[in-house]
Structure 1
């Protein structure tokens, strides 16, 4: 990426842009000065397809005028707007600035809508049809890409309808998760567990905690090795929401289930990230969105 940040590319883009404009002017100048020897029939002598003859007429003045106007417009545009490498333009316009201005304008226009939800608790909002209609649109526009339009998630993306929460499912925790984002990280644990056979035994023990299909003999052998995992998942395997460690006893598998999937997790670890939304959504929007998400797995209070 650093190769595209040095001064060469700024000079390259500037030179390319100006060369194109200068080339247009040179082409216009050459076409205006070049004279073809006149013929009696006012043609250049060039014939294509047997009967297609090139006439020796000068360029129409309206065409020349439009060409010059286009060149002048291009020069003025490059002065006012970014287009010459790192030069920001006299107006200092950026796509980010325009986007930010549009967001500010939209937020201001939507303030009356969200004002009616300010005094209500998330639990109450979850039972408010108007708030949930807004929350659903926020979810579809910002969350459905990962969690699905039905919020049931997919491999690597949590199901938001089953009341199984890595970091806690209270309205406050959901607001915190949406606002600040989350980074879930499990380090590779194969070295701490022991041999490849030990890893397989631990995988079967993990499967046994939720009653999933497993080798009971290997599960018994893997129980003692599970101590390497207990620091995060707990001695009983029920997880720890303080650090986002999953509950291994509920038969819910975020990254796939079965012996091979668990072995791969122990050997390779996993890092998952949910981005923070505090810079895109306002506090009222996050509150309504969190209320909608909370309501997916709870019985909302009636208004």
Structure 2
């Protein structure tokens, strides 16, 4: 794909565009100058099955529209982007158009959000109208990952419970929405030991939440868990400062059971939530925060 951004392609596009227009104009001029020998009945001598070909010139209105179209095309290419890297006299771009429309829309709906902007998130979450606005923002932008009911799915956190990777306070939720999150667990198998050690640690992790496990392997894996405790804590209760999950609450974001945990130890995981501060205004994020906070604080 790198070939499509080098200097050849703008020249190629410009050549094809202007060459096409020049060809059409040249064809029209050529056709207007060609003199056809006619019979007395205004035919050119071609006949098939009793049907004679008349030599009727193009209607002048058609020729006029053709010329106007060519002039319009040239004017458009002068005023707007269309010739390679040339931005046009007006400097129009789809990005500027998008930003202008977003700004216009934000100005239009600003009064709707303004009355909630100064209120605490906890109070906003109690207002039905505010919750409905926040819900619409959520459904249009967040539901693709977290689900329309906000209960998430594998790899996407449930927002309706009290299990928060980075914390569930209004300020933390707002920070997460604004800046996004990038949760990284590195592959830990080499640090844990051999394959037997990995299985033992997996069973110890299962034992922390009271899940079905092999008690013998769990006891053997307890000492090896020390390499995991740096992030998840000695008791496996996680660390919201770095987004390390609580392993003792029986909530499994990436799958439950020995096989799923072994896979995570071997492969690690990189989970990314995008930042939304460029798309939403602070007032919109305030309402979205109130809606998300309210899901687990009813």
User: What is the TM-score of this pair, normalised by structure 1?
Assistant: 0.93
Distance 1:257 1:34, change over 3 A: farther
Q: Partners of 1:40 and 1:211 in 2: how far apart?
A: 104
SS for the counterpart of 1:272 is strand
> Structure 1: where are the runs of 5+ without partners?
none
In 1, Cα distance between equivalents of 2:39 and 2:57? 14
For residue 77 of structure 2, what is the aligned residue in structure 1?
Answer: 78
Evaluate the alpha carbon distance shift between residue 260 and residue 32 of structure 1 in structure 2; reply closer, same or farther with a 3 A threshold. Answer: farther
Equivalents in 2 of 1:256, 1:14: separation in Å? 54
Structure 2 residue 27 is matched with structure 1 residue 27: yes
- Aligned CA distance change for structure 1 residues 224 and 74 (closer, same or farther; 3 Å): same
- Please list the CA deviations of residues 197-230 of structure 1 after superposition, one character each: whole Å capped at 9, or x if unmatched: 2212212221222222222222222221111111
Residue deviations 1:24-68, cap 9 Å, x none? Answer: 2122223323344324554455578x5776432111111111111
- Is 2:38 the partner of 1:38? yes
**1:55 matched residue in structure 2:** 54
The alpha-carbon deviation at position 298 of structure 1 amounts to: 0.5
CA shift in 2, pair 1:167/1:37, >3 Å: same
Structure 2 partner of 1:3: 3
Match of residue 200 from structure 1:
199
Deviation track 1:144-173 (CA, whole Å, cap 9, x = no partner) reads: 121111111112111111121110000000
Q: How many angstroms apart in 2 are the aligned matches of 1:69 and 1:4? A: 33
Aligned residue runs from structure 1 range 130-149, under 5 A: 130-149=129-148
Are the equivalent residues in 1 in contact too, given 2:155–2:253 (CA < 8 A)? yes
- Identify the range of structure 1 (282-291 vs 252-261) with the bigger mean alpha-carbon deviation: 252-261
Which consecutive segments of 4 or more residues in structure 1 shift more than 6 A? none
Cα separation, 1, equivalents of 2:164 and 2:22: 62
Instruction: Tell me the TM-score normalised to structure 2 length.
Output: 0.94
2:280 & 2:124 partners in 1: Cα distance? Answer: 17
| Structure 2: 5+ residue stretches without partners | none
Cross-structure match for 1:170: 169
After TM superposition, list the pairs within 5 Å mapping 1:81-230 onto structure 2: 81-230=80-229
